[in-house]
Amino acid sequence: VSGLELWAPNSVVANNRSHDNDAAGMSMGGNNCIVIGNRCWDNAQLTGSLRGSGIVARAHPRRTNAASGSVFVANTCYDTRSPMTQAYGYNEIGAGLRDIILVGNDFGRNRLGATHFSERGDRDGSGGRISPTMRKRLEELSHSSVVSGEVLAVVRTFLSW
């Protein structure tokens, strides 16, 4: 069982702490979501499976490109145990995910590595892949008190590219 599992599109998932879960800390299946300022640690406690990563971006066989278009900003995912069981800090599961952007995250210190991508391609937002709608949502978020000043600085830097 994941700590948090979300399939709702256009959601903002901010400032959560998720640890010691059997599977992922957070499993994101909704498209065009903003996942920001979360911390996931010591997950995959019982299974040690690939699905037991800090944050998992999910594809779905009946929902085309489920987590596509989502932005993951200033999240921290790690494993403190010995032996480690949390597979990756960020992990994509399933085929067809696209236009996912990762910026300012700390996904180090996990059993198999920091990140695992299901498709080739960059995830840094270069090349103008961020949609005008997502840019507007991030701009609005950068002027709110929903997340900490450090996280807002990451958002503002990303938007200035």
User: In the 3-class helix/strand/coil scheme, how is the chain assigned residue by residue?
Assistant: CCCEEECCCCCEEECCEEECCCCCCEEECCCCCEEECCEEECCCCCCCCCCCCCEEEECCCCCCCCCCCCEEECCEEECCCCCCCCCEEEEEECCCCCCCEEECCECCCCCCEEEECCCCCCCCCCCCCCCHHHHHHHHHHCCCCCCCHHHHHHHHHHHCC
47-97 pLDDT per residue, tens:
656 568 999 999 887 776 689 999 999 999 999 999 999 999 999 998 888
Residue 121 — pLDDT band, cuts 50, 70, 90? confident
Q: What is the pTM of this model?
A: 0.92
Residue 142: is its pLDDT beyond 80? Answer: yes
Comparing 83-97, 125-139, 143-157, the range with the smallest average pLDDT is: 125-139
Residue 127: is its pLDDT beyond 60? Answer: no
